[in-house]
Amino acid sequence: MANIPDDLKYTKEHEWVRDLGKGRVRVGITDHAQRQLGDIVFVELPSVGRTLDAGEAFGTVESVKSVAEIYAPLAGKVAGVNDLLADEPETSNTDPYDEGWLIEIELAKGTDLKGLLSAADYRAWITEGAD
């Protein structure tokens, strides 16, 4: 069974969201997603300052099996990217919830985490066989 920390929020597209406070969140791919992808060999991330709409593709994760788009779970501006992944993309496999994070988003005014899945809801979602 995939590791699904209870203190994070999730999307049905297999991104996780950590609330950093003061209107900023950190985003990455879930343990379930990295297991499905296999060995990650390349991660393409957006530039800092790019404005994202919720649900918009902002980058890709390439593995030995496939290429998957990554989607913004919330609207806002890219406030930071994980530069480590340029040289060590496999970190998204080995430590998806800490060192393998992808981007930080400064949330757009009025945006909150209420529409995201809880850990229990995400666990149920992937248990039901969702891709």
Mean of pLDDT values over 49-74? 96
Query: CA 19, CA 30: separation in Å to the nearest integer?
Result: 15
Domains of the chain, by residue range, sit at 9-109
Query: CA 123, CA 31: separation in Å to the nearest integer?
Result: 11
Give phi and psi for 40, each to the nearest 5: -80, 130
Provide the CATH topology of domain 9-109: OB fold (Dihydrolipoamide Acetyltransferase, E2P) (2.40.50)
Question: Given this model, what pLDDT does residue 57 score?
Answer: 97
Query: CA 78, CA 119: separation in Å to the nearest integer?
Result: 24
pLDDT digits (tens, 9 = 90+) for 8-60: 999 999 999 999 999 999 999 999 999 999 999 999 999 999 999 999 999 99
Give phi and psi for 71, each to the nearest 5: -115, 145
Question: Given this model, what pLDDT does residue 45 score?
Answer: 98
